[in-house]
Structure 1
Amino acid sequence: MTANAPATETVGLYGADASPDEQRAAFREGRVPVAVYGMGKIGLPLSLVYGETTGAVTGVDIDPGRVAALADGTNPLDHEPGVSALLSELVAEDRFACTTDGEAAASTARVHVIVVPTVIDADDDPDLSSLEAAAETVRSGLDPGDAVFVESTVPPGTCEDVIEPVLTAGERSPGEFGLAHTPERTASGRALRDIRGSYPKIVGGVDGESGRVAALVYDELTDNEVIRTSDARTAECVKLFEGVYRDVNIALANELATLTDAFGVDVIDTIEAANTQPYCDILTPGAGVGGHCIPYYSHFLLDAITDPAPMIETGRSVNERMPGFVVETLVDGLSTDRSVEGATVALFGVAYRAGVPETRASPAIDVAHRLDRLGATVLAVDPILDELPEMPAEDVALDEITDRDVDAAALITAHEEFGDVDWHAFEREGSDGIRRGITVVDGRQALDLSETAHTVYTVGRGWH
């Protein structure tokens, strides 16, 4: 199924003779059909914003189940506010359709938007296989005057060195179609708001005309400013620089947090006081950095260079060590009573971020593997996940965890549902009549266990 084609002939925007106003009108009227390749957490809301603007959008995905649901107006990503209602509305109005037949969608589209996952492999090298596969699909229906926008986050030079060669391996040549990088700047839980204009939209083309077309199209989608960079490579670096800034800043906070005992201060309180200086903006330390963005961006930059980049490398390594710090701290706390080998440890939170049912690169997975290698039994609790990712842990429901006999616990993700946990239920009364608690590591400064018998270590605050 593809979106309803406009009654009049479709038009391309790249190299068009029409005036900019005429091109904008054609886009808004649906005479510039759009195909969005990848119906994930960014691709779906992006396609819906295209749909409400043009009314001629087809979403493409390789998952038949997801496509069937979307074509019926059912949203499989219901944690995104407003997406379900907008999807239902656009499907009912024939302004959005979805298909697994990417070649059919490509054959009718004049604007092609690629927003598929880009990750790293086991050697920390960029894995662009999904991106290249999507580009091959676009190539099958690419016509002169079409425009291709890459929203996926990519290493510098990807549009010119990877995507353009794929697109020109067939009948098309450079200069016959537009190609631009238009990086997404979207956070989970606020996708529609961000796409519509929370931040300026960055666009950069492989040539001047590609940049012009990208700026024209996204100016119709966003209420914010469109910033046109000098070229696609610059636009690619903009998104990476944003992510690496956060990675390095979080690494600073995390390193300071690990030194709280050496400093003899509460690092969290110290950071909050330091941040009252307007030139200081230290972020909050935690159990680790997960998600589909920050853990990968440093590797995308590092892969593109041969010169040393010690700050970027160090920031990434500091953040990758935080799950190990959590485990080491937990082991230290257990050592006064028992060994970690044979202990039962409850992990609270497996999703990489509170309230967001995504687990990619979650620090909880690393924590579970480390504990498993030490001989511990791991119980994982996450009320917002339907199932656990691949990890050595037993999935335990939130309302059942207090029935289990656990020796230690670690809060990895601060879901609001954990506010209802009865932590007193983990206490045990000894033969001497004294109630004793367990060892707890709070990786997110979210627990107040001062009225319990537990021994608690809060990352950035120390033992208390």
Structure 2
Amino acid sequence: MTGLGLYDSSVPAGRKRAAFTSGEVPVAVYGLGKMGLPLATVYAETAGDVIGVDVDPSVVEAVNAGECHVTGEPGLPDALESQVERDRLRATTDGSAAAAARVHVVIVPTLLSDDREPDLSTVEAVADDIAAGLAPGDLVILESTVPPGTCRDVLRPHLAAESGLEPDAFGLAFCPERTSTGTALRDIRGAYPKVVGGVDDESTRAAALIYDELTENEVHVVSGATTAEAVKVFEGVYRDVNIALANEFARIADDLGTSVREAIATANELPVCDIHDPGPGVGGHCIPYYPYFLFAQAEKPLPVTRAARDVNEGMPAHTVAVLADELAADDLTLADASVLVLGLTYRAGVEETRASPGVDVVSILAERGADVFAADPLVDPADYGATPVALESIPSGSFDAVVLVTPHEEFERIEWESLDPTVVLDGRDALEIEGTETSHRVRTLGGSRNGGPTVLERPREEPVRSGADGDD
């Protein structure tokens, strides 16, 4: 065992800081995914002696070659290459190879089981690797989002049992990842304050010292690891509830006979108001999962959180129901329709389909008997049950309906005037079709921000009742 242990109250803070920034303290980062790789790179920039651990051999091979496997992160390829060339960062698939580390940083996914219970198996597997080489004075930092209480009730006992150390022989802190795809380096380096909470005071001090070096922003120390865990979960649940409110507004747009997007945008001019935009659903590896972390921990019902999750999970079906209403105006059913879905990733420009509403829309359309086509610049629609359509082939296609779910920038190049007249459902208010020389009938989910009615062409005397009973 080499290097200084930062979980040691007898060592002055100045000595610890100097050791950490000089490369005297080896660091291991477990998980080199789209958030873990940027984090490992920033640790390497700061500490100088970092080993990254990942189960995927191709990821490890790429990192050791100085190649960035994570796309869409400005500055990361150059930063990674620089740290590898300077021998400050290397990678391995062997968790035991990181046994020499004195700081262990865990940033692996926490998913849900089939019955939607938090699945900590990946975190616990990493803990097994850490425990094999854990030494007195080591510090373990968890950045993976977990149910509040995980460090205290699960991880600390697990590490102690597997390592044979007493729980107070090593430090453990939770420091939530507060990073967005596409701005990872900026965020890690200091776009937001870093939250730090340890299982004891010395763990908190050690983790705060580290992140004070990593970030240019302030380090917000909270009372403990469980509070820090709750901060991260609460941030995601707040957004889920906010989006659900916007989606609930969108579902009554026809009843109100107005554009709820225009109303939301105008309401948000008031400083105390911050309503999100509606859409076909909520995807990704964060927001759709975090409410279930609370459901698993709370002994009492969480009616607001549960209702919000139900609304958002029902939006893909609602989107399909709105489309069915539009097709019915042409005496066409979904079972007889060909539908093109634009966008399968959960977010524009991000190659991830976990919990993506686009994937759900494709599945529901197929269940309803539609002939489903899809276009996405980042993933193959065939992997998700849809017939792929190349972007350049869209104008020459013939579809009864087109649904925009994910507003990829590439869709701005679609030549709508060359496409046969069709029903277009814009789920994000992102298409610029109105005013072009087309005869498409365009409907925006929830209405457009510019104040147009929910049905831009061929308005009806009676509002459409979107989302018939049984469809949501």
TM over 0.5: yes
Instruction: Report what 2:131 is aligned to.
Output: 139
Contact 1:204/1:228 (<8 A) preserved: yes
1:277 to partner: Cα distance: 1.1
Contact 2:348/2:409 (<8 A) preserved: yes
Instruction: Report what 1:430 is aligned to.
Output: none
Asked whether 1:333 is paired with 2:326, we answer yes
Asked whether 1:446 is paired with 2:430, we answer yes
Contact 2:171/2:202 (<8 A) preserved: yes
Instruction: Report what 2:22 is aligned to.
Output: 29
Identity in percent: 52
Contact 2:9/2:202 (<8 A) preserved: no
Contact 1:159/1:179 (<8 A) preserved: yes
| Unmatched tracts of structure 2, length 5 or more | 448-453, 457-472
| CA distance in 1: counterparts of 2:62 and 2:122, whole angstroms | 22
Match runs of 1:21-60 below 5 Å: 21-60=14-53
Decide whether aligned partners of structure 1 residues 210 and 159 sit closer, same or farther in structure 2, where only a CA change above 3 A counts: same
Instruction: Report what 1:375 is aligned to.
Output: 369
| CA distance in 1: counterparts of 2:393 and 2:323, whole angstroms | 22
| CA distance in 1: counterparts of 2:38 and 2:322, whole angstroms | 41
Contact 1:147/1:178 (<8 A) preserved: yes
Instruction: Report what 1:349 is aligned to.
Output: 343
Instruction: Report what 1:358 is aligned to.
Output: 352
Within the candidate set 101, 105, 110, 2:102 is matched to: 110
SS in 2 for 1:281: coil
Instruction: Report what 1:200 is aligned to.
Output: 193
Match runs of 1:91-102 below 5 Å: 91-102=84-95
1:265 to partner: Cα distance: 1.5
1:390 to partner: Cα distance: 4.5
Within the candidate set 115, 121, 145, 1:153 is matched to: 145
Contact 2:327/2:334 (<8 A) preserved: yes
Contact 2:375/2:381 (<8 A) preserved: no
Instruction: Report what 2:66 is aligned to.
Output: 73
SS in 2 for 1:144: coil
Decide whether aligned partners of structure 1 residues 173 and 395 sit closer, same or farther in structure 2, where only a CA change above 3 A counts: farther
Instruction: Report what 2:168 is aligned to.
Output: 175
SS in 2 for 1:463: coil
Contact 1:157/1:232 (<8 A) preserved: yes
1:129 to partner: Cα distance: 1.2
Contact 1:80/1:189 (<8 A) preserved: yes
| CA distance in 2: counterparts of 1:199 and 1:439, whole angstroms | 43
| CA distance in 2: counterparts of 1:238 and 1:214, whole angstroms | 17
Match runs of 1:154-303 below 5 Å: 154-170=146-162, 171-303=164-296
The code of the aligned residue for 1:446 comes to A
Instruction: Report what 2:119 is aligned to.
Output: 127
Contact 1:16/1:145 (<8 A) preserved: no
1:228 to partner: Cα distance: 1.1
| CA distance in 2: counterparts of 1:298 and 1:411, whole angstroms | 27
Decide whether aligned partners of structure 1 residues 189 and 82 sit closer, same or farther in structure 2, where only a CA change above 3 A counts: same
Contact 2:341/2:375 (<8 A) preserved: yes
| CA distance in 2: counterparts of 1:332 and 1:426, whole angstroms | 22
Instruction: Report what 2:469 is aligned to.
Output: none
Within the candidate set 43, 59, 63, 2:56 is matched to: 63
SS in 1 for 2:340: strand
1:334 to partner: Cα distance: 1.0
Number of residue-to-residue matches in the alignment: 446
1:122 to partner: Cα distance: 2.2
Contact 1:359/1:389 (<8 A) preserved: no
1:389 to partner: Cα distance: 8.0
1:244 to partner: Cα distance: 0.8
Contact 1:14/1:177 (<8 A) preserved: yes
1:404 to partner: Cα distance: 2.6
SS in 2 for 1:347: strand
Contact 1:199/1:224 (<8 A) preserved: yes
More off after superposition, 81-90 vs 404-413: 404-413
More off after superposition, 197-206 vs 417-426: 417-426
| CA distance in 2: counterparts of 1:365 and 1:384, whole angstroms | 13
| CA distance in 1: counterparts of 2:206 and 2:43, whole angstroms | 15
1:363 to partner: Cα distance: 0.3
| CA distance in 2: counterparts of 1:242 and 1:389, whole angstroms | 34
| CA distance in 1: counterparts of 2:432 and 2:270, whole angstroms | 28
| CA distance in 1: counterparts of 2:368 and 2:198, whole angstroms | 51
Query: What value does the CA root-mean-square deviation take over the aligned residues?
Result: 1.3
Within the candidate set 437, 444, 453, 1:458 is matched to: 444
Deviations 1:138-160 (A, max 9, x none): 11111110000000000011111
The code of the aligned residue for 1:115 comes to I
Within the candidate set 296, 300, 320, 2:313 is matched to: 320
TM-score where L is the length of structure 1? 0.94
| CA distance in 2: counterparts of 1:42 and 1:23, whole angstroms | 26
Instruction: Report what 1:434 is aligned to.
Output: none
SS in 1 for 2:334: coil
1:393 to partner: Cα distance: 1.0
Match runs of 1:384-463 below 5 Å: 384-385=378-379, 387-388=380-381, 390-427=383-420, 437-450=421-434, 451=436, 452-461=438-447, 462-463=454-455
The code of the aligned residue for 1:369 comes to S
More off after superposition, 332-341 vs 38-47: 332-341
Contact 1:248/1:315 (<8 A) preserved: yes
SS in 2 for 1:112: strand
